Amino acid sequence: MLLTITTTLAPATDLGYLLHKHPDRPQSVTVPAGTAHVFYPEADPARCTAALLLEVDPVGLVRGRGGDRGRGGATAEPRGFSLGQYVNDRPYAASSLLAMALKAAFRTALAGRCEARPALAASPIPLRIRVPALPCRGGGSGLARRVFEPLGWSVAAPAVPLDPAVGGWGDSPYCDVVLTGEMRLADALNQLYVLLPVLDDAKHYWVTSDEADKLIRAGAGWLAGHPEKALISRRYLAHQRELTRAALARLAESDDTEPEELDDAVAASLLPDQAGEQAPLREQRRGAVLAAVRASGARRVGDLGCGDGALVRDLLAEPGIEQVVAADVSVRALQSAARRLRLGRLTETQRERVALFQSSLTYRDDRLAGLDAAVLMEVIEHVDPPRLAALERDVFGFASPGTVVVTTPNAEYNVRFEGLTAGAMRHRDHRFEWTRAQFSDWAGRVAARFGYQVSFLPVGGDDPDVGPPTQLALFRRAAA
């Protein structure tokens, strides 16, 4: 991976003093990921260019010998088995590895020190910086501009096509970035040091506790006033705690699928945050479900598809409820629920009130029998329609709680969400979203088949034209 720094300062060759690297002597520094080479392809008084070329050892990178111990490196998975590690862009794309090489090669310049030309080091100089393959994930050229322009750069960042030999694939996440402007060299280098990994936003980070300190040091003087400060800090400090790959990720891989494709049970909704409204929809939904459960007088309540346990916590706070049975099919969801509920720290009495375990609504599970009420909050839309019959049989037929509360999105309301593409669903994993008529049709059939009576409630404000954002069906088992 490559980065070039060009100046037209007079004399331009003073760049050698500022970088502490002699223009006529190529130098090499060993860094954890490989070898960083510094050399000058041009060194005239009128124009001087320094090149930093990092030669990555791709096999060593994967095998964790001499790999990057800092950010963005493959050693984030010390014993990991991921095909993505073997075939990845790290040897070519500017990332945290290049940022680290930058720091190793130009440590003094980053600190802004220059014994030979102290005044020059403190002054803005004309600079042209090129990073030919800079990943700008989640925004492409526009993101590069949003990040660099506020700092005073003029930015050219054409996107690199994904594969010109294959039709219709469009652009890659990489941009051929050229920054031009008058800037103190140390500032420019510090900005690159922080912003290369930020733009890269690689998937698996290994963040050490001193990363925040590093950000504060390197961001001195320019980050505080940056309009994208939030994005920069979040991405720079992004945490991915999973150090070993989950078994699920391996299944995705064996089926030529990205792990995120399957391991998305606790992924965020595609809905934009709705700041300013009275209460977020998810809170209103929990409130409505809680009200329904409360009204049923249930003492043993199941949260089937409990996700990260937000509702479980509410249910546990209810004095009338003796036990909450919380089940989900996703191991990741269960881990996150266990953390949220602080299961490890509950007293015995508290612990007895909650049973948290993996279950699947397409298999009969005796542990779900004997519930007074069961909640399926935003669950059914995650089940493929051909598999719904199994869910109906297992929940209404076998578990057969006295009360069943089902919520699901109202597809008609989607037009009211600004920022949601027309015709799109609210979550990547939704297999369907129903209109009110479709939901009531389904609920009616289920109720008739399994001996329940069903009524419907709006959740989140009943829009006169398109109905409520969430629809809720309340099933009560008919008296025998």
Partner 1 sequence: MESQGVTAPARELGIPELSLVVLIGVTGSGKSTFARAHFKPTEVISSDFCRALVSDDENDQSATADAFDLLHYIAGKRLAAGRLTVADATSVQPEARRTLVALAREHDVLPVAIVLDLPERICAERNAARPDRAFGPQVLRRQRDQLRRGLKGLRREGFRTIHVLRSEADVAAASVTRTRLYSDLRDQAGPFDVIGDVHGCRAELEALLARLGYVVKRDADGRAAGASHPGRRAVFLGDLVDRGPDTPGVLRLVMGMVAGGAALCVPGNHEAKLLRALRGRDVRVTHGLAESLAQLDQEGPAFRAETERFLDGLVSHYVLDGGRLVVSHAGLIERYQGRASGRVREFCLYGQTTGETDEYGLPVRHPWADEYRGKAVVLYGHTPVPAPEWVNNTLCLDTGCVFGGSLTALRYPERELVSVPAARVYYAPARPFQPNPVAELAAPPRREPEVLDIGDVTGARVIESSYLKRIGVREENAAAALEVMSRFAIDPRWLVYLPPTMSPVATTAAPGLIEHPDQAFDAYRADGVAAVVCEEKHMGSRAVLLACRSPAAARARFGVPGEDAGALWTRTGRPFFGAELTALLLARVRAAAETAGLFDELGTSWLLLDCELLPWSAKAGQLLRDQYAAVGAAARSSLPAAVSVLEQAAARGLDVGELLDRTRGRAANADAFAAAYRRYCWPVAGLTGLRLAPFQLLASEGAAYHQRPHEWHLAIADRLADADRSAGADGELITRTRRVFADTTDPASAAAAAGWWEELTAAGGEGMVVKPAANLARGRRGLIQPGLKVRGREYLRIIYGPDYPEPGNLERLRQRGLGHKRSLALREYALGLESLDRVASGEPLWRVHECVFAVLALESEPVDPRL
Binders of partner 1 among residues 331 to 350 (CB under 8 A) are: 331
Work out whether 400 is an interface residue with partner 1 (CB under 8 A): no
Which span (148-156, 157-165, 270-278, 455-463) binds partner 1, by CB under 8 A? 157-165
Work out whether 89 is an interface residue with partner 1 (CB under 8 A): yes
Q: Of residues 371-390, which lie at the interface with partner 1 (CB under 8 A)? A: 382-383, 386-387, 389-390
11: region left, alpha or beta (phi > 0 left; psi from -120 to 50 alpha)? beta
Q: Which is nearer to partner 1, 166 or 275 (by Cβ)?
A: 166
Helix axes 247-254, 331-340, angle to 10 degrees: 160
Q: Which is nearer to partner 1, 34 or 219 (by Cβ)?
A: 34
Q: Which is nearer to partner 1, 137 or 436 (by Cβ)?
A: 137
Q: Which is nearer to partner 1, 81 or 154 (by Cβ)?
A: 81
Residue with tokens 């909650």: 354
Work out whether 86 is an interface residue with partner 1 (CB under 8 A): yes
Q: Which is nearer to partner 1, 174 or 236 (by Cβ)?
A: 174
Instruction: Please tell me the distance from the alpha carbon of residue 316 to that of residue 298, in angstroms, as a whole number.
Output: 13
Work out whether 479 is an interface residue with partner 1 (CB under 8 A): no
Amino acid identity at 305:
G
Buried b (16+ CB within 10 A) or exposed e, 62-95: bebeebbebbbbbbbbeebebebbeebbbbbbbb
Residue with tokens 């030529």: 256
Work out whether 280 is an interface residue with partner 1 (CB under 8 A): no
Query: Contacts with partner 1: how many residues (CB under 8 A)?
Result: 86
Taking the complex as a whole, the smallest distance from the CB of residue 171 to partner 1 amounts, in Å, to: 8
Measured in whole angstroms, the distance separating CA 132 from the mean position of its chain's CA atoms is 26
Work out whether 160 is an interface residue with partner 1 (CB under 8 A): yes
- Which listed residue (78, 124, 161, 221) binds partner 1 by CB under 8 A? 161
- Which listed residue (66, 117, 139, 176) binds partner 1 by CB under 8 A? 176
Q: Which is nearer to partner 1, 344 or 386 (by Cβ)?
A: 386
- Which listed residue (83, 267, 295, 448) binds partner 1 by CB under 8 A? 83
Work out whether 91 is an interface residue with partner 1 (CB under 8 A): yes
Taking the complex as a whole, the smallest distance from the CB of residue 66 to partner 1 amounts, in Å, to: 12
Query: Which positions ≥6 away from 230 have C-beta within 8 Å?
Result: none
- Which listed residue (120, 156, 162, 457) binds partner 1 by CB under 8 A? 162
Work out whether 66 is an interface residue with partner 1 (CB under 8 A): no
Taking the complex as a whole, the smallest distance from the CB of residue 432 to partner 1 amounts, in Å, to: 13
Pairing status of strand 159-161 against strand 171-184? antiparallel
Nearest Cα neighbor of 90 from 108, 109, 67 is 67
- DSSP at 22: -
Q: Of residues 3-42, which lie at the interface with partner 1 (CB under 8 A)? A: 4, 24, 26, 37, 39-42
Which span (190-198, 213-221, 338-346, 357-365) binds partner 1, by CB under 8 A? 357-365
Work out whether 163 is an interface residue with partner 1 (CB under 8 A): yes
Work out whether 92 is an interface residue with partner 1 (CB under 8 A): yes
Instruction: Please tell me the distance from the alpha carbon of residue 253 to that of residue 249, in angstroms, as a whole number.
Output: 6
Residue with tokens 């050490």: 208
Strand partners, 161: 171
- DSSP at 479: P
Helix (H) or strand (E) holding 29: strand 27-31
Q: Which is nearer to partner 1, 56 or 147 (by Cβ)?
A: 56
Q: Check if the beta carbon of residue 61 is closer than 8 Å to that of residue 73.
A: yes
Work out whether 469 is an interface residue with partner 1 (CB under 8 A): no
Per-position x/- string for 201-240, each x denoting binding to partner 1 as judged by CB under 8 A, each - no binding: ----------------------------------------
Which runs of E-coded beta strand occur in 163-206?
171-184
Whole-number Cα distances in Å, 379 to 257, 342, 428, 431, 460: 23, 24, 13, 10, 18
- Which listed residue (20, 47, 117, 250) binds partner 1 by CB under 8 A? 250
Work out whether 247 is an interface residue with partner 1 (CB under 8 A): yes
Q: Which is nearer to partner 1, 26 or 221 (by Cβ)?
A: 26
Taking the complex as a whole, the smallest distance from the CB of residue 361 to partner 1 amounts, in Å, to: 7
Q: Which is nearer to partner 1, 366 or 418 (by Cβ)?
A: 366
Q: Of residues 106-125, which lie at the interface with partner 1 (CB under 8 A)? A: none
Q: Which is nearer to partner 1, 81 or 113 (by Cβ)?
A: 81
DSSP 98-135: HHHHHHHHSHHHHHT--SS-HHHHTSEEEEEEEEEEEE
Buried b (16+ CB within 10 A) or exposed e, 396-433: beebbbbbbbbbbbbbbbbeebeebeeeebbbeebebb
